[in-house]
Copies of this chain bind each other. A is one copy, B any other.
């Protein structure tokens, strides 16, 4: 099921198809993440919130920066997650304007379950590669996005 069309135009600078490979692999990955989220009644954004807060405590603005969203968007996002008991809003003691956000125990548990679920759900795709190829891919991807 092609999600975007393969490049097949002579004036395209991406002769090797790197762009298409990356875009198609990304859409395939996002589809899996989306499915995992849906299985836990979470949107992709909520999934990210959980992942980000899994071992971090952030203020509203910090969370918005991580997600690339406006701070006003965070209010509803955090509110809905709070109502589900996944996280807590805590007034910051040193700065009265700041609201810190942290996962509850239930939130951490769900984040962990999701992490495993994601790994399992992606394994059919990743598993098509040999172990050495998986290592090569990992190295290349981390190098590309500037980690490691």
- What secondary structure prevails in chain A residues at the interface with B? helix
The distance in angstroms between the C-alpha atoms of A129 and B19, with both chains bound, is 13
Say yes or no: is A23 at the interface (Cβ < 8 Å to chain B). Answer: yes
- Contacts A24-B145, A26-B29, A30-B26; is A7 near B115 (CB within 8 Å)? yes
Q: B residues within 8 A CB of A116?
A: 12-13
- A: which residues have CB within 8 A of B? 1-7, 9, 12-14, 16-19, 21-31, 33-34, 48, 51-52, 54-56, 65-66, 68, 115-116, 118-119, 122-123, 125-126, 128-129, 131, 133-138, 140-147
Copies of this chain, tallied across the complex: 2
The distance in angstroms between the C-alpha atoms of A13 and B125, with both chains bound, is 15
Q: B residues within 8 A CB of A68?
A: 31, 34
Task: Tell whether, in the assembled complex, residue B26 and residue A119 are in contact, meaning their CB atoms are under 8 Å apart.
Answer: no
Neighbour of A21 across the interface among B1, B9, B142, CB < 8 A:
B142
Neighbour of A137 across the interface among B14, B123, B137, CB < 8 A:
B137
- Contacts A25-B26, A128-B144; is A66 near B3 (CB within 8 Å)? yes
Task: Tell whether, in the assembled complex, residue A144 and residue B115 are in contact, meaning their CB atoms are under 8 Å apart.
Answer: no
Task: Tell whether, in the assembled complex, residue A128 and residue B115 are in contact, meaning their CB atoms are under 8 Å apart.
Answer: no
Task: Tell whether, in the assembled complex, residue A134 and residue B16 are in contact, meaning their CB atoms are under 8 Å apart.
Answer: yes
Minimal beta-carbon separation of A27 from chain B (angstroms): 8
